Structure 1
Amino acid sequence: MEKSNDNSINLNKYISSTGICSRRDAEKLIIEGKVTINGKPTQLGNRVFEGDIVKINGQPLKQKPKTLYIALNKPVGIVCTTDSKERKNIVKFINHTERLFPIGRLDKPSEGLIFLTNDGDIVNKILRAGNNHQKEYIVTVNKPITEEFIQKMSHGIPILGTITKKCKVEKVNQNTFKIVLTQGLNRQIRRMCQYLNFEVTKLQRTRIMNVSLGTLKVGEWRELTSKEMGIINQMLADSSKTEEVSKDTFKKKFTSPNKKKFHSKKKKKR
């Protein structure tokens, strides 16, 4: 009985999908006779079926692991690090079979939403665009919240040698408020509250970008849905475009024209 092509993948595509080379380079390897399937020589157009063993120069080719994007409701006390010396590190806590790392961080005494992944590209993209995306927190403090507190928190607080960006702050009850940030300074919310003589007694992150905690209980995690990832990737694409436009504007404004003016002034003086 012949195998169906519906359950197979073109050999050159299979090789490139492992991340070792491009499809074009994979074709060269096939043409040069360096690739075998189940010990037999291959040619362009061969297909790889589930269970087939592909080798290059006699070395088995391992399929790239599935890309994972995980949302965890981090408990208090878990540290957002991959350092194995830290007994309560986040990777040990999840104990996943794949090697994961957190995107950004959430302080040890804080709880709530954090992403983990094995995709290094998206980590860099999210961290690079981090100041353009919303993160929402529910915060409880040690004394009643005043209107003055809300106003000052939302309009900017001087910490760490800068003024925090304007943000949305909303009173939830006597001692609790909701805050939406688009920046991530070290222990930002705790420092902002401390500046106003308030102490944070509980801090929970409830949303990152388009993903909310929802019904996810403390200590539980789930994979992000394809719909959630689609929106995240769109947000990141928009951020990249904005970044490129701002860089181009900067170059046009402060490089070429100024150089021309500078040189023309010099010529006039001569």
Structure 2
Amino acid sequence: MESNNTNSINLNKFISSTGMCSRREAEKLILQGRVTLNNRPTELGNRVFDGDIVKVDGRLLKPKPKTLYIALNKPIGIVCTTDSKERKNIVKFVGYPERLFPIGRLDKPSEGLIFLTNDGDIVNKILRAGNNHEKEYIVTVDKSITDTFINKMSNGIPILGTVTQKCKVEKVADKVFKIVLTQGLNRQIRRMCEYLDYEVTKLVRTRIMNIELGQMQPGDWRELTSEEMEKINKMIATSSKTEEASTVIQKPKKQVSKKKEGPVKNDFNKKSASFRKKSSSSKKNISSFGRKKKRF
């Protein structure tokens, strides 16, 4: 019984998708009689359906794992690391059955939107500072916000041996402001505020590129929809993956001994393919990992 071709993939494309070789080289393998499909000889044009067994020289080929893109509202206290020694690391907190790693980071005392994925290529493209991908934050400080504060924050603050790029800063309330960054310096917003003698009491990232935090509560996470990923891929289509993209353009310097430079390190819509929420008990005790999440 034959299946619909829309649920299948061309044999040479399947072989290539496993990372073994290119499609053209896969065609050669097929023509040389080195490929079997469900233990039968193959020819060009054969199609592979779910559950089919493809072997090259008797060796079973397995498709690459599905690429995963997850949006998490990181709670305060969770650490953006994959280090298993860290009890409150972000990967353990999410508890996804497949290996993931965070795109960028949020400080332990900060909360809000962060992506996790198994796609290393997209990580590089999003993180490079020179690619100008926006991240939006709502920040609460310890005293009243003045026009001078807004003006200075917008036009650049000297931290970590450089001056921060100009950015959008808007007063939201007496002690609350919104800031949109395209940089990712270490503890950037906190350091900028400290320079102006302000202390951050709460910091929430509400947006990354086209994705907003939306109705997600701390501890909630969901998979990004195909529509959201389509927009992200368009936004990063021209993004550089090279190291040069993350450096600040400076005037040429004379060749002298290398000096140590300051370290430069580099929200969600209601519609979703998959949306998971931490149970109420886990919200009360954020260190309780591994509890089942409700799906709705």
Q: Point out where structure 2 has 5 or more consecutive residues left out of the alignment.
A: 253-296
RMSD of aligned alpha carbons: 2.2
Q: CA deviation at 1:190?
A: 0.4
Counterpart in 2 of 1:197? 197
Q: What secondary structure sits across from 1:26 in the alignment? A: helix
The question of whether the paired residues in 1 share the 8 Å contact of 2:129 and 2:184 is answered with: no
Q: What are the equivalent positions in structure 2 for 1:221-260 lying under 5 Å apart?
A: 221-240=221-240
Counterpart in 1 of 2:182? 182
- Asked whether 1:24 is paired with 2:33, we answer no
Length-normalised TM-score, structure 1: 0.84
Which has the larger share of helix? 1
Q: What are the equivalent positions in structure 2 for 1:111-260 lying under 5 Å apart?
A: 111-128=111-128, 131-240=131-240
Counterpart in 2 of 1:73? 73
CA offsets, 1:110-147, max 9 Å, x none?
A: 10011111111111111225651211100111122222
Q: For the pair shown, which has the larger CA radius of gyration, 1 or 2?
A: 1
The question of whether the paired residues in 1 share the 8 Å contact of 2:131 and 2:239 is answered with: no
**Percent identity (aligned):** 77
Cα distance between partner residues in 2 of 1:179 and 1:55:
54
Length-normalised TM-score, structure 2: 0.77
Q: CA deviation at 1:43?
A: 2.0
Cα distance between partner residues in 1 of 2:47 and 2:239:
39
Comparing 196-205 and 31-40, the one that deviates more? 31-40
Counterpart in 2 of 1:104? 104
Q: CA deviation at 1:212?
A: 0.7
Q: What secondary structure sits across from 1:237 in the alignment? A: coil
CA offsets, 1:28-84, max 9 Å, x none?
A: 221222211222222222222221111122221111111111111111111111111
Q: CA 1:221/1:173 → structure 2, altered by over 3 Å: closer, same or farther?
A: same
Q: CA 1:40/1:143 → structure 2, altered by over 3 Å: closer, same or farther?
A: same
Cα distance between partner residues in 1 of 2:239 and 2:81:
26
Q: CA 1:130/1:80 → structure 2, altered by over 3 Å: closer, same or farther?
A: farther
Counterpart in 2 of 1:261? none
Cα distance between partner residues in 2 of 1:131 and 1:197:
30
Counterpart residue type for residue 174 of structure 1 = D
Q: Point out where structure 1 has 5 or more consecutive residues left out of the alignment.
A: 245-249, 255-270
